[in-house]
Amino acid sequence: MKLCSNIARSAAAVLFLLFAGSAIAGERPADIPEGMGILPVNVPVPTDNPMSAAKVELGKKLYFDPALSKSGQFSCNSCHNLGTWGVDNQATSIGHRWQRGGRNAPTVLNSGFWSKQFWDGRAPLLEDQAKGPPLNPVEMALGSEADAVARLQMAGYNAEFDAVFDKGGISFDNMAKAIAAFERTLNTPDAAFDLYLQGKGKISAAAKRGMLKVADVGCTSCHAGALFSNNKFVAFQYGSDTGLKSVTGKADDDHVFRVQSWRNVAMTAPYFHDGKTATLAEAVDVMARVQLDTVLSKAEVADIVAFLETLTGVLPSITYPQLPRPAGQTLEWHE
Residues that bind ligand HEC in the complex, under the rule CB under 6 A: 74, 76, 78-80, 93, 95, 101, 103, 105-106, 108, 111, 114, 117-119, 126, 129-130, 133-134, 139-140, 179, 214, 217-219, 221-223, 234, 236, 257, 259-260, 265, 268, 271-273, 283-284, 287-288, 291-292, 304
Task: Tell me: cis bond preceding 134? Omega within 30 of 0 counts.
Answer: no
Q: Taking the complex as a whole, how short is the minimal distance between the CB of residue 216 and ligand HEC, in angstroms? A: 10
Give φ, ψ of 70 to 5 degrees.
-60, -40
- How far is it, in rounded angstroms, from Cα 276 to Cα 90? 9
Q: Which CB, 23 or 255, lies closer to ligand HEC?
A: 255
Q: Which CB, 23 or 103, lies closer to ligand HEC?
A: 103
State the greatest distance between any 2 C-alpha atoms of the chain, in Å, as a whole number: 84
Specify whether the CB–CB gap between 40 and 263 falls below 8 A. no
Which one of the listed residues 127, 139, 160, 183 is annotated catalytic?
Answer: 139
Give the DSSP H or E segment for 256: strand 256-258
Strand partners, 225: 36
Q: Taking the complex as a whole, how short is the minimal distance between the CB of residue 266 and ligand HEC, in angstroms? A: 9
Q: Which CB, 23 or 155, lies closer to ligand HEC?
A: 155
Specify whether the CB–CB gap between 320 and 61 falls below 8 A. no
Query: How many CB atoms neighbour CB 190 within 10 A?
Result: 15
Q: Which CB, 23 or 210, lies closer to ligand HEC?
A: 210
Q: Taking the complex as a whole, how short is the minimal distance between the CB of residue 130 and ligand HEC, in angstroms? A: 4
Q: Which CB, 165 or 238, lies closer to ligand HEC?
A: 238
Specify whether the CB–CB gap between 243 and 119 falls below 8 A. yes
Helix, strand, or coil (residue 219): helix
- How far is it, in rounded angstroms, from Cα 76 to Cα 186? 13
Specify whether the CB–CB gap between 222 and 230 falls below 8 A. yes
Q: Taking the complex as a whole, how short is the minimal distance between the CB of residue 101 and ligand HEC, in angstroms? A: 5
Q: Is 139 a catalytic residue?
A: yes
Nearest 5°: the CA angle 296, 302, 303 is: 90
Q: Taking the complex as a whole, how short is the minimal distance between the CB of residue 323 and ligand HEC, in angstroms? A: 14
Q: Taking the complex as a whole, how short is the minimal distance between the CB of residue 243 and ligand HEC, in angstroms? A: 7
- How far is it, in rounded angstroms, from Cα 334 to Cα 70? 7
Q: Which CB, 82 or 304, lies closer to ligand HEC?
A: 304
Give φ, ψ of 271 to 5 degrees.
-110, 165
By annotation, the residues acting in catalysis are 139
